Amino acid sequence: MANTKAIVEDKKVIHGWCMYDWANSVYSLSIATAIFPIYYNNITSQGGTSVMFMGMQMKNTALYSYAISFAFLFIALVSPLLSGIADFKNNKKFFMKLFCITGSLSCIMLAFFNDKSTLWIGIVFFVLSTIGYAGSIVFYNAFLPEICNRENQDKVSARGFSLGYIGSTILLIVNLTIIMLNDSYHFVGGSIPARLSFVMVGLWWLIFGYYSFSRLPGSSAGFKIESSALFHGYRELAKVFRELKGLNYLKVFLFSFFLYNMAVQTVMYIASLFGKAEIKDDNGVPMNDSLLIVTILIIQLVGILGATLFSRLSANIGNIRTLLINIVVWVLVCVLAYYTYKPFSFIALAFLVGMVMGGVQALSRSTYSKMLPHQNDNASYFSFYDVCDRLGTVLGTLIYGLLDQITGSMRMSIFAIALFFVIGIIGLLRLDKITSRAKIILH
């Protein structure tokens, strides 16, 4: 709900809130995107790519996709419950801290995953770290309207995002330097540098997380959750679903967003594995780990430029048509990825991915925000948007994993990703017609 009275803004509280982005963003870059996926592939490819988990034999990269699917399915199912609990403002810090501890300690536990016999450690704690990250974000976001006034929320949110980007990049560069030095000078043996990076991520997240908790307002003594609050989030989702029947333009956008975002999220989580499994040099040697991590950094850095360029383009031609251009480029990325086999080509493709990665995420959320009906509670609509985002990640990574398992090639799964984008384009073309007829201009 929007604030109904002015909030006395405390700079220390606001800074503490922003610093939690600095704390937890190291998970999304180092664990979810860069170092852990590459490390996982190296460990599980020893002696062949087939692995045994919970009595079932499957391809290693398919299992990784299933782990992501399970984590986000859990998050999608419980996030409305968490949102309901978050309505009790004095309880948010307790749950935020609980998920932070779960996620950070799970990152540290990944250091004990060192061969196929400890695969269960890698999978279980990767899933728990993902749940810890996403769960804490629910309560982190819920603090924003309570610590600053509405007119300052965009600025404070952007400050948190910037700190998160800077912090995660700094730690990734530190970990990458250690890994590269070890590759060059063999200071310590085997996988120790990569496993050390998991510990550093966990400690960074925990230490800076507690700095945030020391400044955020605490829980009240009379902690109690009423049953009506537990199911409040689910009731709000059901209400939004009913209201969408009368909001054709919003319904078409969410359909399109669900499909193209499904593809985007799958690329984000699988890109490193694809590079390690499918990209080889002229001698058939897989892409160097350090070079692959540098490629992920390129995507991060170029993503800032891409978000800026697409933001300016949307001011000139509108959000929907800018999104259409962005997603057409994504289809081109899929086509090029299918024919990409060499490291240099993969790095060049990373520049293109970075350009559209930042743009599509920023544009999608702002476009959705501009289309929301003014008479409704925006928080409920954004909760629905977040569930669509997470369920899309579940379905996208699940389909990718199944195709990888059935065909034995990650490359074949690219066709499914491209299809998601194409159907998303069709949805946006329809939306463009609807908004044009209604004379709705989104800039």
**178-209, pLDDT tens digit by residue?**
888 877 666 666 688 899 999 999 999 999 99
In tens, the pLDDT along 137-176 reads: 888 877 877 788 867 776 787 788 788 888 999 999 999 8
- Dihedral angle of Cα 392, 393, 394, 399, to the nearest 10 degrees: 90
115-129, 272-286, 428-442: segment of lowest average pLDDT: 428-442
Alpha-carbon Rg for the chain in angstroms: 22
Cα–Cα distance, 213 to 422 (Å, whole number): 44
Q: For residue range 18-27, list pLDDT tens digits in order.
A: 999 999 999 9
Helix residue ranges per DSSP H, 372-413? 378-407
Residues 387/261, Cβ–Cβ less than 8 Å: no
Evaluate if residue 37 carries a pLDDT over 70.
Answer: yes
Token pair 């999104």: residue: 323
Domains of the chain (ranges, CATH numbers): 10-218 (1.20.1250.20), 231-443 (1.20.1250.20)
Render 92-127 in DSSP notation, one character per residue. Answer: HHHHHHHHHHHHHHHHHHGGG--SGGGHHHHHHHHH
Q: What is the pTM for the complete model shown? A: 0.85
> Which pLDDT score, from 0 to 100, does residue 200 have?
97
Does the pLDDT at position 413 exceed 50?
Answer: yes
Cα 440 to Cα 199: distance, rounded to the nearest angstrom:
50
Nearest to 243 by CA among 102, 118, 384: 384
- What digits encode the pLDDT tens for the residues 295-334? 888 888 888 788 788 888 888 888 899 999 999 999 999 9
The secondary structure of residue 318, as a DSSP letter, is -
The tokens describing 215, both together, are 């400044």
Instruction: Describe the crossing of helices 119-147 and 11-26 by its angle, rounded to 10 degrees.
Output: 160
